Structure 1
Amino acid sequence: MPVTDVRTHRVRVPLHTPFVTAVRSTSQVEALLVEIRDEDGRSGWGEATENWRVTGSSIAGAEAAVAGPLAAAVTGSDPDDLEPATRALAATVTGNQAAVSAVDCALHDLAAARLGVPLGQLLGTTRRSVATDVTLAVDTPERMRDAARRRRAEGFTVLKVKLGRGEHDDLARLTEIAEAAGASTVLRVDANQGWTPKEAIRLVRAVEDRGLNVEFVEQPVAAGDIEGLAEVTHAVGLPVMADESVWSPRDALHLVRTRAVDLINVKLAKCGGLRAARHLVALAEASGVGVLFGSMMETHVGVAATAALAATASGGGPVADLDAAWWLTHSPVAGGPRYDGAALVLSDAPGLGITALADPAPALSPR
């Protein structure tokens, strides 16, 4: 039963609260959902999101890549034989990682659906939920403090704090949040490339001196400044994570060899899907580097695929930063995952559990 059809669906879903970082601000998610069908009518789903500032991906570009060379690469292939099919995808286009990821994930989803098992089980786990943090978007210290209190009341015990708007203001923001959230709350700091190495070192040392409960610092400097990243990592006690600096196993290997980071953030839209992500995870584990499974601002489709992979993780340390779909007013699909407080609960149905596109839901009131 080979792949017979590759379809694309454009969706636009509003956020219940604007999402602001050091590099961009958005009030909606625009995504391209990819649906792959076999001749028996089963479907597999994947997602590519638009993100000009980080990945350079656009809906139009992803749609062209999927409808053209990527569809040609998988049509007629056997979805039960994932390795050659996904390997062919990775060699089909240069760049366009979000589009490659969408088709790769759809193939994995279809393979699991054909076996009648959840995607996580295909990847090697029976876990059906993954704990996630929740992000505090960049704002004034007072508003971020109030947001921290609301998120705590909603059951989130790990807060990812977006910073990178200025060294002294960032320290004030983080201090306000730590006091409001309480000592039992774990904080993760994400600067989104917003600091120079010297600024990052001063700020992280100040955080350490104040005894704030920070778990790690993510992407403190520009993505291409690997020397600066290493400088920060060697100068501070807190673990340092790379996000925008690591897209591929080659990037990860360079970071490992230069001892530039303690952890890497694995995102399917950056690396090109589940096949590539599993290679990244294997490399990190073999090198003693920690892994966080993250996402772009995307819908339940993309988040579910990453969560299925995150559910396979073992050992201690950070696991998931998968609150992206939590920000949406509704899911664009029927079925799939849901949030239960700080837990992302995966479907027990075959594959990702997605059955169809959902009817548009009314927008919710801002939180």
Structure 2
Amino acid sequence: MKISTHLVSAPLHTPFVTALRTATHADSLLVEISDGELSGWGEAPQVWKVTGESLAGAQACVEGPIAAALDGLEPDDLTEALRRVQNAAVGNFGAKGAVDVALHDLAARRRGQTLHAFLGSSVGTVATDVTLSAGDAEALAAAARDRVADGFDVLKVKVGTGDATADAARVRRIREAIGPGPRLRLDANQGWTRRDAVTAIRSLEDCDIELVEQPVPAADLDGMAWVTDRVSTPILADESVYGVRDLVAVIRHGAADMVNVKLAKCGGLAPARTLLELAREHGIRTIVGSMMEGPVGVGAAAALVSAYPTSAVNDLDAAWWLREPPVAGGIRYDGPMIHLPSAPGLGVTGLTV
């Protein structure tokens, strides 16, 4: 197998603003694994404020220890290849995730199957929410009305800006603007204290909030458990959970009602399936999310959701924000519905940049 890497930077049609950062481009490392005739694709996004991993680091990991671990291995030996990827380095989950997905994509292509069929599903569409970037109340209200007009019925609102009272006021204004029908979920990106989280969430319980994602810092499981115990709105762990050990800690602390599984956090499709199964066994509800990724990363996550249904609408709008995708083929958005490709694997046919 030959491993190649491609650095891409795709402009967004609208700046993406959170409590942690403002993004105008989606910067990723695309990994291509070829058997000489067919290529499988994977993606490692750069998200400094979440994973702490850089594109340069991911590229070095893929081209160094991961490539060395896969050297001489036959393309059809998927199980052994995935084991070697996970053992090739400590951490580096984005790099591992990109190679894991590329290996799955190549395996599916060699069998003439779509990736979701390879994972065991015939379901060709997956629903997603859409995120509203952080902003003032009136801008958010206008954006929310636009997204509802686009057909989205689950809106994720970025909060955690440092002023929980102002956050709550913005959310209330959005609810007023869109009425009672669309679902609202909040993502604080670790931006609240435990007390501010409880105050804000309780003040919004009449606004029918579906869930609140990562209200407090990732390492503060006691604090998140404290919040979970004091509000009726479900709490979703995101940055607190990378791998199995993290999810076990969340379960033991009673820290959250739900978990957000992301390929770039956990290291790919194989670890993600383990997390989804473990969560289900312990009564933890699930969604699958994405970083600021393109059709490769989101396509893999959507294929996973097709084969491993989650408890709520998933958070897979990342590629929707792109002005132009860096690859040809792959998934297609139609409002909140993601249409999975009918071509083999992820359906990606090559780079466009």
Q: TM-score range by the shorter chain?
A: over 0.9
Q: Secondary structure at the match of 2:7?
A: strand
* Equivalent runs, 1:43-62 vs 2, <5 Å: 43-62=39-58
Deviation of the 1:234 alpha carbon: 0.7
Deviation of the 1:52 alpha carbon: 1.0
Greater alpha carbon shift after TM alignment, 151-160 vs 68-77? 68-77
Q: Which of 267, 274, 277 is the equivalent residue of 2:272? A: 277
Residue identity matched to 2:9: R
State whether residues 273 and 308 of structure 2, in contact with CA within 8 Å, keep that contact through their aligned partners in structure 1. no
Q: How many equivalent pairs are there?
A: 352
Q: Matched residues in 2 for 1:75 and 1:44: separation?
A: 16
* Equivalent runs, 1:80-91 vs 2, <5 Å: 80-91=76-87
Deviation of the 1:134 alpha carbon: 0.2
Match for residue 94 of structure 1?
90
Instruction: Give per-residue Cα distances to partners, 1:313-343, cap 9 Å, x unaligned.
Output: 347x314100000000011111100101111
Residue identity matched to 1:326: W
Q: Does 1:237 align with 2:242?
A: no
- TM-score, normalised by the number of residues in structure 1: 0.94
- TM-score, normalised by the number of residues in structure 2: 0.98
Q: Matched residues in 2 for 1:291 and 1:80: separation?
A: 31
Alpha-carbon RMSD across the aligned residues, in angstroms, is 1.0
Q: Does 1:266 align with 2:261?
A: yes
Deviation of the 1:293 alpha carbon: 0.3
State whether residues 310 and 319 of structure 1, in contact with CA within 8 Å, keep that contact through their aligned partners in structure 2. no
Deviation of the 1:356 alpha carbon: 0.8
Q: Secondary structure at the match of 1:321?
A: coil
State whether residues 290 and 315 of structure 2, in contact with CA within 8 Å, keep that contact through their aligned partners in structure 1. yes
Q: Matched residues in 2 for 1:259 and 1:17: separation?
A: 37
Q: Matched residues in 2 for 1:59 and 1:167: separation?
A: 33
Match for residue 357 of structure 1?
351
Match for residue 206 of structure 1?
203
Deviation of the 1:32 alpha carbon: 0.6
Q: Does 1:341 align with 2:335?
A: yes
Q: Which of 167, 181, 184 is the equivalent residue of 1:187? A: 184
Deviation of the 1:61 alpha carbon: 0.6
Instruction: Give per-residue Cα distances to partners, 1:17-72, cap 9 Å, x unaligned.
Output: 11011111111111110000013x11000001111111011111111111111112
Q: Among all aligned residue pairs of Structure 1 and Structure 2, give the percentage whose two residues are the same amino acid.
A: 52
- Give ranges in structure 2 of 5+ residues lacking alignment: none
- Give ranges in structure 1 of 5+ residues lacking alignment: 361-367
Q: Matched residues in 2 for 1:246 and 1:171: separation?
A: 26
State whether residues 257 and 285 of structure 2, in contact with CA within 8 Å, keep that contact through their aligned partners in structure 1. yes
* Equivalent runs, 1:159-170 vs 2, <5 Å: 159-165=155-161, 166-170=163-167
Q: Matched residues in 2 for 1:77 and 1:213: separation?
A: 52
State whether residues 291 and 319 of structure 1, in contact with CA within 8 Å, keep that contact through their aligned partners in structure 2. no
State whether residues 185 and 213 of structure 1, in contact with CA within 8 Å, keep that contact through their aligned partners in structure 2. no
Q: Matched residues in 2 for 1:293 and 1:314: separation?
A: 9
Q: Does 1:42 align with 2:64?
A: no
